[in-house]
């Protein structure tokens, strides 16, 4: 049986389509919230796929000059850590888990956030900050790393993402 999708294509036709553009929204300010977007953007660029990163809310810490070197793993209420919620709140737990995670990533040759952002930018990906979040946190372009192309509105983001896939990490 052939299934027809809402846009009129079949599942088989959609499976054969090649992704040519992705726009990735990074909204979380923890290591485990930022790295998936960076890895996906880097992977897209390595495959020749156009990629844009749109940082909003606490995800902007990844591109904030004073914060991007100090991103930690969220330990309280993080089900992926498979530990009791109260244990995540023990003083020093976030620092310990962050250290372990950074060591594991270093062994896999995954660069730290500042280096990763630079590498992704150098590959031709667009890096953008959300205007509403920038205004809400009373920031300016000067607060961000040099790799940030622009501060844009959600409407600008949708226009830029047109014809591609949007991924929310």
Distance CA 148, CA 135 (A): 16
Portion of the chain with pLDDT greater than 70, in percent:
91
pLDDT of residue 12: 59
Report the pLDDT value the prediction gives residue 13, as an integer from 0 to 100. Answer: 59
Q: Return the CATH fold of 20-71+112-168.
A: Hypothetical Protein Ychn; Chain: A, (3.40.1260)
Ranges assigned E (strand) in the chain? 21-26, 50-55, 126-130, 150-152, 165-168
**Band (74; pLDDT cuts 50, 70, 90):** confident
For the entire predicted model, the pTM comes to 0.85
Q: How far is the CA of 108 from the CAs of 11, 102, 114, in angstroms?
A: 36, 10, 17
In this structure, are residues 52 and 161 in contact, taking their beta carbons and an 8 Å threshold? yes
Bridge partner list, 94: none
């Amino acid at each position: 049986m052939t299934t027809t999708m809402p846009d009129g294509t079949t599942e088989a036709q959609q499976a054969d389509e090649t992704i040519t553009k992705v726009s990735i929204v990074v909204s979380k300010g923890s290591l485990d919230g930022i790295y998936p977007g960076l890895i996906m953007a880097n992977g897209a660029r390595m495959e020749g796929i156009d990629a844009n990163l749109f940082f909003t809310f606490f995800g902007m810490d990844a591109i904030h000059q004073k914060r991007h070197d100090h991103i930690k793993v969220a330990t309280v209420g993080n089900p992926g850590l498979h530990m009791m919620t109260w244990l995540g709140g023990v003083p020093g737990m976030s620092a310990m888990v962050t250290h372990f995670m950074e060591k594991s990533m270093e062994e896999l040759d995954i660069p730290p956030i500042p280096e990763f952002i630079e590498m992704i930018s150098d590959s031709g990906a667009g890096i953008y900050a959300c205007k509403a979040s920038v205004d809400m946190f009373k920031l300016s372009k000067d607060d961000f790393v040099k790799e940030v192309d622009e501060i844009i509105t959600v409407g600008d983001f949708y226009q830029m993402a047109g014809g591609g896939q949007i991924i929310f990490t």
